[in-house]
Homo-oligomer: A and B are copies of this chain.
């Protein structure tokens, strides 16, 4: 532990032969001072190798220039890309990012919320669990700056950044239906989480629009876990009438499903077509490349951070509750084809669909 006496403004002022106030002004670049004192302060600071103490400054200014990010798993493509966006934006504005991952544990989430507040972060970006909504809402209402991601906590003080997943699954179903699929399986996520529910709902919406009746047997619940997704996929392919296409509700479950299909010799897209949520790097170079529903996570991170910071810089709370919604895009690659036994219908692809290969082939 460093017990070494640190170099303070007082030292600089002494060295420069001016008062501490002047030194502060010069180094902080505010107020008025003569060229003479500017020069001597700068020289003195250089000479004694002065380094400002951010903690003292933070105490005085009641502002730490730090934002907290509470996410569930830093170790998922989904979130790392998001954090990268946040970090980029924060750094540009002179803010630092404190990271916490909760692992979807409500207790830890609450601990971290408290910890962040005690540490005096200027605001947080979070995606709170259902059971903690009230606490987050209270915090936001009590003036703690907050931006939520894919969750609405019902506070008019917190901005919200969302991917519009009301249509995401529907887009996928629409596409698969256009290819001729009428039996479309779903590997659902965790219904305890907002995103899990939305993705399921958007799948049902797509079925409705396509005039396909919902079949409970075609839905398995992977809970965003690889092991359960693997089992679920196995159940689907062992049905007497297996679906001709599958929709998988997140990236890591998609991995598990691919493993399952490979292990059981099920060809893609020959035997079954597959669409995954999220769009990790590997989706593009998998053989065959996987068609996915891409969320602009990096961009979401930037937006979330910008929303938070704009709220901080303004002296008044933002005029009205900000709500940014980003659409999910279907990125068409090679993992879908018309079902084996049926004749392919005339293709009528949805307008929002991205047809070209979005992955540069580096040539």
Contact = CB atoms under 8 A, between A and B. Distances in A.
Given A98-B98, A285-B262, A75 B64 contact: no
Interface residues of A, number: 68
Contacts of A74: 80, 83-84, 87
Interface stretch (A18-26, A160-168, A189-197, A226-234): A226-234
A99 interface: yes
A274 interface: no
Given A74-B83, A255-B284, A286-B286, 19 more contacts: A1-B313, A2-B62, A51-B114, A53-B59, A54-B120, A55-B58, A55-B120, A66-B119, A74-B84, A75-B80, A75-B81, A75-B84, A91-B100, A97-B100, A98-B98, A98-B99, A258-B285, A259-B361, A287-B287
A63 interface: yes
Contact of A143 (B2, B115, B282, B286): B2
Contacts of A101: 84, 87
Copies of this chain in its oligomeric complex: 2
A256 B285 contact: yes
Contacts of A239: none
Nearest to A268: B287
Nearest to A360: B227
14 contacts: A1-B315, A4-B143, A53-B59, A54-B118, A66-B98, A74-B83, A96-B115, A98-B98, A98-B99, A227-B362, A230-B361, A231-B362, A263-B361, A287-B287
A60 B104 CA distance: 34
Interface in A47-69: 51-56, 58-59, 62-64, 66
A51 B118 contact: yes
A280 B1 CA distance: 37
Interface string A275-304: 000001110111100000000000000000
Nearest to A298: B75
Closest 7 CB pairs of A and B: A230-B362, A259-B285, A282-B282, A227-B362, A54-B119, A262-B287, A54-B118
A134 interface: no
A14 interface: no
B96 A98 contact: yes
